[in-house]
Chain A
Amino acid sequence: MFEQIFFWLLSGGAIVTAAMVVLPPTGRNPLYAALALVVSFFFMAGIYALLLAHLMAVLQVMVYAGAIMVLFMFVIMLLNLREDELGTERRTFAKLLGGVAMVWVGLKVALVASAVDNLPAADATTPAMASFGTVEGVGDMLFRQFLFPFELTSILLLIAVIGAVVLAKRTL
């Protein structure tokens, strides 16, 4: 019951704020959109916590809501777009078609995916689940089973650094 209430609150909040990112009027202004997105990320972190993914919830707040969104804010401020520079949204047939198709895809996927309820759920009370979602548990897997992707990610971040420099630095 408790879980369900939180589920409704958090997911409702996440969806509404996410919609605020995308939909006008807030969606028209990147600053408002970014703020809505931050809020949405917070709600998501809550859902993660609800799902026993504690480490992920923390990381969500720190990396996403913190680091990534700050980056966004920087850029928004840097560009300092005024309202009149934003112009008006065009309504094209493509957008309509895409919307319909995307909603259809979502519905279809949701319909099929609801079969997952047939999966037996893991019992969180077993000792095997003790370290579930903790730094220890995740870290163990990360550095044992997924070391290679982890190393690869370091290259990925390096690339991103180089890329940001190459693309954005005033002179090279």
Chain B
Amino acid sequence: MLLELLQISPLLIVTFVGLLTMLVGAFAPAGSFKGWLGYLTGFGFLAALVAIWWLWDRTPVAFESPWLSNALRFDAFGLALMAVIAVGGLLTTLTAIHYLPAQRSDHAEYYSLVSFSVLGMMCLVTANDLLTLFIALEVMSIAVYILAGFKRQSPYAIEAAMKYFILGSFASALLLLGIAFVWGVTGAITLPDIARVFAFGNVEEGLGLEGVAHLGMVLILGAFAFKIAAAPFHMWTPDVYEGAPASVSGLMAVAVKTAAFGALARVLLTCFGDDQFREGAASWETLVAILAVVSMFGGNLMALAQKNLKRVLAYSAIAHTGYILIALLAAPAVADGTLTLNALGAGLVFYLLAYTLANAAAFGVAAAIGANDNEDASDPSYSGLAYRHPALAVVLTISVLSLLGIPVTAGFIGKLTIFSEVLQSPTGDYLWLVILAVINSIISAYYYLRIIVVAFMKPEVQPVETVTSRPLGWSLGLAAALTVILGLIPSSTLEVAHEAGRSLVHSTTPGLIGAAPVDKAALPSSAAAPRPVEAETALKDAAQEVARP
């Protein structure tokens, strides 16, 4: 029991910090500075990071008791994304510490809500059954709805929260319907079980039940497409990013998206990753590719004429959803015996990290210019930033270049990894997709450059006043520095990302099991090297016993 508590320590730490801040904050005098709770929250995330680091060598973590092992799966992928989320949470929390007082919204609840939403995200990326997934999603979402409207005296913030909430609830209902269908036809709620059912043809052929499962898959995909802001499910993004406080927009842009992507990847690759499932319908790869293309073009094109930093970043976030969706298709082959398994590449995790760093920095700058209750992040509010605050301008530039994918930034390595992995993908020839992505990068250059133009090359319209704050500086410095460092020496991080990706093994060989830890015994030994067909039947038989108790 104690071991298991240690094993889920990242979750516990975050929960504990959330509760602590809530309780302590309740006793703090009204109107006093609550930033120290932010430090506390930050330390919480640091501690969580340490815990994740400790757990890293123990992946996949073997939970003994059934209630945990069904609900959660701590594999390299989940841990890596938890780490990314924690980093995102840390960076955005640090920006909030002095930003919130400047926005006259310095309440203790902010930090507990951040902690709880991060808890939701962490559960989301490690959720092993669809129910936990749903609850985790709701924990994250509802906390973020509230955070979006946290500056409640601002009509913009409240309006943003309201919009986000209505759309979010709608998407939740869709997700739930999808879950209902998937569970209904498979009778399984945990991801490995669902995968097994699909893999071994337990959804009887000819009965049309696969169709229902496909429906479920599409509904789940649609709901997640909303969360990751893929076009045309993206409509909320610009308004909400613009209206919400900058630190919250940052959290939404980095951590929420990371979590949603993690869950989506896990669901798609584990449950629906098997070729058996793909029969009789367009594969989710096609749908994802289409979403990617639409998101890239939609985000980038709509961003062109934007004159507000937060809004530009929102559209850029939509476009990036497109790039990251491509990473879902990047599944290089991993040879395993005579069978070839496909695992997710390093691209997704690495790109999410790079994206987290860049956006945390960019929204950090957006927060920095939010002094004196200034909510506006439109051009005049940071025009000529470089004259008075060169460091902020440099950070903004680095983050923007990283988003654009210019070398010596993490964003470049991320794009490079995604593109090269997706070109090796065995599930299809995605050269066209890569070329479209590149064309989109070109389009995006225009509005990213505009940000640099405004910050560096335009004169000051009004004196740019910024939130001067040491934690903000740490956050920005850390994000920018990591962006450059990861751009220069990404090797070890890439290795980690690789390992994370590899833990999401799925198969393009019919009948091979999906996400469950690959059971070496069940696999035909390479020495015997039976024919694939035989191996298949043998496997099917073996697994059917497992699937049907």
Chain A residues in contact with chain B, CB under 8 A? 109, 112-113, 115-116, 118-119, 144-149, 152-153, 155-156, 158-160, 162-163, 165-167, 171-172
From the candidates B67, B131, B132, B158, name the one contacting A144 in the complex (CB within 8 A).
Answer: B67
| Contact of A115 with B131 in the complex, beta carbons under 8 Å | no
Instruction: Of the listed stretches B205-213, B241-249, B307-315, B330-338, name the one at the interface; the rest are far from the partner chain.
Output: B205-213
Interface 1/0 per residue, B126-156 and A, CB below 8 Å: 0000011001101100110110011010000
Nearest chain B CB to A146 CB, angstrom units: 6
B22 within 8 A of A: yes
Given contacts A109-B215, A144-B66, contact A163 B184 (CB under 8 A): no
From the candidates A109, A115, A158, A159, name the one contacting B208 in the complex (CB within 8 A).
Answer: A115
User: Which residues on the A side are within 8 Å of B123 (C-beta)?
Assistant: 152
B329 within 8 A of A: no
User: Which residues on the A side are within 8 Å of B98 (C-beta)?
Assistant: none
| Contact of A148 with B212 in the complex, beta carbons under 8 Å | no
| Contact of B152 with A145 in the complex, beta carbons under 8 Å | no
| Contact of B152 with A149 in the complex, beta carbons under 8 Å | no
Given contacts A113-B215, A116-B209, contact A153 B135 (CB under 8 A): yes
Nearest chain A CB to B442 CB, angstrom units: 32
B456 within 8 A of A: no
User: Which residues on the B side are within 8 Å of A172 (C-beta)?
Assistant: 30, 107, 109
| Contact of B113 with A159 in the complex, beta carbons under 8 Å | yes
Nearest chain B CB to A145 CB, angstrom units: 6
Complex CA–CA separation, A171 to B120 (angstroms):
28
Range of interface residues on B (Cβ < 8 Å): 35 or more
Q: Quick one: which of A146, A155, A165 has the most chain B CB within 10 A?
A: A155
Complex CA–CA separation, A144 to B117 (angstroms):
25
B70 within 8 A of A: yes
Who on chain A is nearest to B117 by CB?
A159
From the candidates B30, B112, B135, B215, name the one contacting A149 in the complex (CB within 8 A).
Answer: B135
| Contact of A146 with B71 in the complex, beta carbons under 8 Å | yes
New A-B contacts (8) at CB < 8 Å, excluding given A118-B204, A145-B70, A166-B150: A112-B214, A115-B209, A119-B209, A148-B67, A149-B71, A152-B123, A152-B136, A159-B116
From the candidates B30, B132, B184, name the one contacting A148 in the complex (CB within 8 A).
Answer: B132
22 residue pairs A–B, Cβ–Cβ below 8 Å: A109-B215, A113-B215, A115-B208, A116-B185, A146-B131, A148-B70, A152-B120, A152-B139, A155-B15, A155-B119, A155-B139, A159-B116, A160-B142, A162-B22, A162-B113, A166-B113, A166-B150, A166-B152, A167-B161, A171-B30, A172-B107, A172-B109
User: Which residues on the B side are within 8 Å of A171 (C-beta)?
Assistant: 30
| Contact of B135 with A152 in the complex, beta carbons under 8 Å | yes
B435 within 8 A of A: no
| Contact of A147 with B67 in the complex, beta carbons under 8 Å | yes
Given contacts A115-B212, A167-B152, contact A145 B67 (CB under 8 A): yes
Complex CA–CA separation, A171 to B117 (angstroms):
24
Q: Is the interface of B mostly helix, strand, loop or mixed?
A: helix
Nearest chain B CB to A62 CB, angstrom units: 21
Nearest chain B CB to A15 CB, angstrom units: 17
Nearest chain B CB to A141 CB, angstrom units: 10
Complex CA–CA separation, A116 to B187 (angstroms):
12
Query: Which residues 58-73 in B have Cβ within 8 Å of A in the complex?
Result: 66-68, 70-72
Q: Quick one: which of B68, B112, B146 has the most chain A CB within 10 A?
A: B146
| Contact of B142 with A156 in the complex, beta carbons under 8 Å | yes
Complex CA–CA separation, A156 to B22 (angstroms):
14
| Contact of B132 with A115 in the complex, beta carbons under 8 Å | no
Nearest chain B CB to A41 CB, angstrom units: 16
User: Which residues on the A side are within 8 Å of B135 (C-beta)?
Assistant: 149, 152-153, 156
Complex CA–CA separation, A86 to B116 (angstroms):
37
User: Which residues on the A side are within 8 Å of B184 (C-beta)?
Assistant: 116
User: Which residues on the A side are within 8 Å of B164 (C-beta)?
Assistant: none
B181 within 8 A of A: yes
Nearest chain B CB to A22 CB, angstrom units: 14
Complex CA–CA separation, A166 to B135 (angstroms):
22
Complex CA–CA separation, A158 to B139 (angstroms):
10
